[in-house]
Structure 1
Amino acid sequence: MRLTRTPRPPCRRHRRRRTLLLAELVVLALLTSGASAHAETVVLALAGSVEEVLNNIRNWLMGILAGLATVFLTIGGVRRVFGSGDPGEQEKAKEAFKAAGIGYVLAALAPLVVEVLKGIVGA
């Protein structure tokens, strides 16, 4: 009777090493096989006037402020619901609601700030 040795499955460490080695080889192949790129100057943002720049600033400012206010409103709502009567959590929820309100007011006032900037700059 002949004894045959059954192959053992590779352990996790060897499988992990093989996977990492394969990933490194793929990344190396992708980095070295790419065609050389020509550097081209591409202008992505071109403003025609100062007024256009200030309008873009206003739009970004309003978007960021409204987004942050919405995040604080959501946090306040979650704290209010999951606070389950804890006075500390309820107070934190009120503070988050106040912060959301301030954020929405600032977002609404952003056009006024840009108009003041236009007056200062002379656009």
Structure 2
Amino acid sequence: MIILGLIAGALTTGCWLPQLFKSWRTRSTKDFSWLYLAVFGTGILLWMIYGAIKGDLAITVTNSLTLTLTLAVVGLKFWLDVLKPRVRARAEPPAGGPSQRSVLPVDARAVADGTGDPARAEM
């Protein structure tokens, strides 16, 4: 019976791999809700504890692996949905502020009337 449990556990645990790879490749975890991940992860943790108490290797091992993959998705979601937007927001200049193009001063009059070369404009 342990073989049947290990095969069933391997199949259900393995189902997380394609989703994890897709989330990594597309850099999107928006389809996962935080509530779903919290409830699912808690359920898996309880199954893992139950398997350990019962001494059932198949339940304990497969749920440990599933919990690991679930935590990987949680970490990826936290990185993509929480940390990355904060870093991006700090890196963008404020609205109406200087852009990268306006950092170097250029003699606009000389360029506009054709007497100056933008590459040789005074700085």
Alignment TM-score, normalising by the size of structure 2: 0.35
**TM-score relative to the length of structure 1:** 0.35
